[in-house]
A and B are shown apart, each in its own frame.
Chain A
Amino acid sequence: MANPTDYLLAVEGLTVSFDGFKAVNDLSFYVDSNEIHVIIGPNGAGKTTVLDLICGRTKASGGSIKFRNRELTAMKEHQIVTAGVGRKFQNPSIYDDLTVFENLEISYPRGRSVFGALAFKRDAAVRERVAEIAEMIFLADHLDQRAEYLSHGQKQWLEIGMLLIQDPELLMLDEPVAGMSVNERKKTAELLNRIIQNRSVLVIEHDMKFVEDIAHRVTVLHQGKILSEGSMERVKNDPKVVEVYLGH
């Protein structure tokens, strides 16, 4: 077994069962620094559950998740975020009633306690950082707009931006291009390739074209277990994968 200290994220023997049904069963995988790691698999394979487990939304029944050698399974959600793990949800999860600026500002990693938030000042550093991120996610012209009125693709970018402003070391994205137009998808791939600098990204995605474009390494999940792992090329030609997933 590899020494987990070498990896940014080390998931070992991870198991979770819901009423006896093992959604994730003795799963182990590793994510390196600066790696784009994609998890694919058929519906119900447990992909989203894996992200839920890492970010603390679901409690593991067994196994360990080490991030920079810190055990995440014992930490609360907000502590995991502070430790450097950011997570994007499948459906764009943004604050409809707030403006794009305010959405980004809330994710700015300062004043996260109750009284810190009361005393928080919107200073030049905050405005510059928000402007910088907005530029990156193609929303610089929409800062004053209520997030509700953004298009679906723009909402997805906004949520990615909300994660970027936290500057996490590990970014987890759940189907970032689902429901996007071809053009938007291209821009998203571009965006992901740009933000990969100095961080790792764990992505769940169905769009094989997109996966091929971005993935450094691919893990195929099936019924809560790893079916195959490696480069896209290798996974694509794995007969087991073709049978349960790609063949359809």
Chain B
Amino acid sequence: MAEPTGNAPEREPILQVRNLVKHFPLTQGILFKKQVGAVKAVDGISFDLYRGETLGIVGESGCGKSTVAKLLMNLERATAGEVFYKGQDITKLSGRALKTVRRNIQMVFQDPYTSLNPRMTVGDIIGEPFEIHPEVAPKGDRRRKVQELLDVVGLNPEYINRYPHQFSGGQRQRIGIARGLALNPEIIICDEPVSALDVSVQAQVINLMGKLQDEFDLSYVFIAHDLSIVRHISDRVGVMYLGKMAEIGSDAEIYEHPTHPYTQALLSAVPVPDPEVREARERIILTGDVPSPANPPSGCRFRTRCWKAEEKCATEEPLLAIPTRFKSVNTPAAHESACHFAEEKAVLAV
């Protein structure tokens, strides 16, 4: 696919991902390692990220969403494919050029307990990016900058000399966010930023992230498995299954007019905190587990759990495109979906 995905062609994408592939080799033997296969963690993914928007990526564990996050940062070398940041392919970069790009793409990690060094003070943690990129803040100015950042994320600037263990989970995640903001990046990649937090604290962190986005004109790639949170924060949503994008579109398109059976099943499985709505709606329960990415099913990868699967699904791989039957019609169902038998099915009782 050469044309940009999504529904906002007038804006320029800040990040373009094209056919991104990551295979982890499976080897046998100790001394003479030979490759016997590969775990196809990410297998040809394309999407665009526009300035100031939030792209949500959802999927079950093992679908490759965290690998995508690492590839976007070039923390893992891509097996094939490109990631263009302002026209520059970052998967080919190294050394100084990569360092410059990384200044603009930062990451917030899932677990605020292990992603902060317990032996460093909060000031050192948030100030560390300045050591690597000294041009952002001159040495004498750093302490003040760090205190500013603490204030921005809603922590008391006097906490600068405290250690991570003196903070609660939600506060630690704020520290992680402050560290991500330190270099004034354009893109922040958030890998499950709130899944380790309590419900009442989750809302605080989500609100903070929304506020920061407006304030600093940030673009987020928001990776999560909680569909209701993704919907709340995202402008566009991509659904991943076993290393492939199953469906991508605006949040209303995905949540109200899903056309891929996997998206429909995923949405219908979301626990709804209202017993009456819950009893009234239809639920699709998938059987079995996600197949191994080392040996994915032929054709459509979802076919082994799909109730619509036919012979065609086993032989022909469906491409991520707007289904032909919806192409000429102006309907919200006309968004990209990788299914031979894409059709609308309302699963969310609103």
Binding partners A and B? no
